[in-house]
């Protein structure tokens, strides 16, 4: 080697294969953004966990659903949605019944208490979304949401 490391940083375009910096990786930034959002949620809403709220909100939006369908619409796999539904049922926010036509299915629906609770939280939930996006101005927020959707 005549001069493998004569100018370690001189020519960034050829020699060094771009150092791996954690803080530059999309995955790390996405994780931190999500972390921040969960912290904002936690400060605003203590009645339900984020996923429990998402579950009730989706049931409120779409009506009764099979457990697996509910999982798909909330982006939780079958094993995860099961735990969430179990806990919501235990706390009386949802109820389950057997599907008459498909004996594999368990239909999940809101109880009156669950409906009342989720409706009482919508305003604060909107605030959470607003606060999460607050570092960006209106134009940036629209752009960010657009890019986020495009990436999914």
Partner DNA sequence: CCCTTTTTGTTGGCATGCAAACGGATTTTG
Partner DNA sequence: CAAAATCCGTTTGCATGCCAACAAAAAGGG
Residues at the contact surface with DNA, assessed by CB under 7 A? 31, 35, 38-39, 42, 49-52, 66-69, 75-80, 82-84, 87, 99, 101-107
In residues, how long is the chain?
Answer: 152
Query: For tokens 């369908």, what's the residue?
Result: 69
Q: Residue 84 binds what, of a second copy, DNA, none (CB under 5 to 8 Å, by partner type)? A: DNA
- Which of 42, 83, 92, 135 binds a second copy (CB under 8 A)? It is 135
Interactions with a second copy, residue window 40-99 (CB under 8 A): 41, 50, 54, 57-58, 60-61, 73-75
Q: How far is the CB of 40 from DNA (least distance, A)?
A: 11
Q: Determine the Cα angle at 75 with ends 70 and 78, to 5°.
A: 60
Q: Which is nearer to a second copy, 98 or 148 (CB)?
A: 148
Residue 67 near residue 106 (C-beta atoms within 8 A): yes
Nearer to DNA, 52 or 132 (CB): 52
Phi-psi map region of 18: left, alpha, beta (phi>0 left; psi -120 to 50 alpha): left
Q: Measured from the CB atom, is 83 or 92 closer to DNA?
A: 83
Count of other CB atoms within 10 angstroms of residue 114: 23
DSSP for 34-90? HHHHHHHHHHH--SS-HHHHHHHHHHHHH-SEEHHHHHHHHT--HHHHHHHHHHHHH
124 binds, among DNA, a second copy, none (CB under 5 to 8 A by kind): none
In the complex, the smallest distance separating the C-beta of residue 101 from a second copy, rounded to whole angstroms, is 27
26 belongs to the binding site for a second copy (CB under 8 A) = yes
Is residue 19 within the footprint of a second copy (CB under 8 A)? yes
């Amino acid at each position: 080697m005549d001069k493998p490391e004569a100018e370690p940083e001189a020519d960034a375009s050829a020699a060094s294969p771009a150092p791996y910096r954690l803080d530059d990786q999309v995955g790390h930034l996405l994780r931190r953004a999500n972390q921040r959002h969960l912290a904002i949620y936690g400060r605003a809403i203590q009645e339900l966990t984020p996923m429990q709220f998402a579950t009730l909100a989706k049931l409120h939006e779409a009506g009764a659903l099979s457990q697996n369908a509910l999982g798909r619409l909330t982006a939780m796999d079958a094993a995860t949605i099961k735990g969430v539904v179990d806990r919501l049922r235990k706390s009386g926010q949802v109820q389950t019944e057997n599907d008459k036509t498909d004996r594999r299915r368990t239909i999940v629906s809101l109880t009156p208490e669950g409906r009342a609770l989720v409706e009482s939280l919508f305003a604060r939930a909107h605030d959470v979304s607003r606060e999460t996006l607050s570092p960006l101005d209106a134009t940036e927020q629209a752009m960010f949401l657009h890019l986020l959707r495009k990436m999914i």
